[in-house]
Amino acid sequence: MRIGIAADHGGFDLKLQLSEALKAKGYEVKDFGAYTLVEGDDYPDFVIPLAEAVSKGEVNRGIAICGSGVGACIAANKVPNVRAGLIGDSYSAHQGVEDDNMNMLCLGGRVTGYALSLELAQIFLSANFNETERFKRRLEKITQLEKKY
Ligand code: RB5
């Protein structure tokens, strides 16, 4: 599976750690920056290119990190076809994929430690969408909303 990862200064260290760990586990990881730690850089500069790559299918899934994960999640969800969730527990890490076809995992680099973040990422990346009618029906309503705007 080809995945993308992005972070601002608030998630910079966690991005490096997760990138290396996920590569070691066999994932192809494309880094969308930040490539150097710059205090005060802006999460949209890195998260939006990642979200666009997810939207176009250039990567299968994305992991976006800022200090809290909130800004990254807000930015990612502005891009059509992106379904990003700010995740801090294992249940949501797989249920968000199974029920809601979540394709981007957002993490708070100042909130969620490395070990838990890696577990959450692996759970997210291992989960698959459950293509039952009610889940598809709900997503179709969101797709229609995207078309409206
Ligand atoms: C730090 O600048 C912080 O505001 C940012 O990383 C992120 O948490 C925003 O949601």
- pLDDT per residue as tens digits for the range 9-18: 999 999 999 9
Q: Which residues pair with 128 in a beta bridge?
A: none
d(CA 139, CA 79): 15
Asked whether 89 and 56 are in contact (CB, 8 A), the reply is no
Q: What is the pLDDT of residue 44?
A: 98
Q: What is the pLDDT of residue 133?
A: 97
| Annotated catalytic residue 66 | yes
For ligand 1, say whether the CB of 71 is within 6 Å of any of its atoms. yes
Residue whose CA is at the smallest distance from ligand 1 atom 6: 67
CA 10 vs. chain centroid, Å, equals: 15
d(CA 125, CA 127): 6
- For the chain, list the domains and their CATH numbers: 2-148 (3.40.1400.10)
Q: What is the pLDDT of residue 69?
A: 98
Q: Which two tokens stand for residue 25?
A: 């586990």
The ligand 1 atom nearest the CA atom of 8: 6
Q: pLDDT for 89-146, tens place per residue? A: 999 999 999 999 999 999 999 999 999 999 999 999 999 999 999 999 999 999 999 9
Quote the radius of gyration of the chain (alpha carbons, Å).
14
Sign of CA dihedral 91, 98, 4, 63: negative
Q: pLDDT for 45-89, tens place per residue? A: 999 999 999 999 999 999 999 999 999 999 999 999 999 999 999
Residue whose CA is at the smallest distance from ligand 1 atom 3: 67
Q: What is the pLDDT of residue 146?
A: 95
Q: What is the pLDDT of residue 108?
A: 98
Residues in Cβ contact with 97 at an 8 Å cutoff, skipping those fewer than 6 apart: 103, 124, 127, 128, 129
For ligand 1, say whether the CB of 109 is within 6 Å of any of its atoms. no
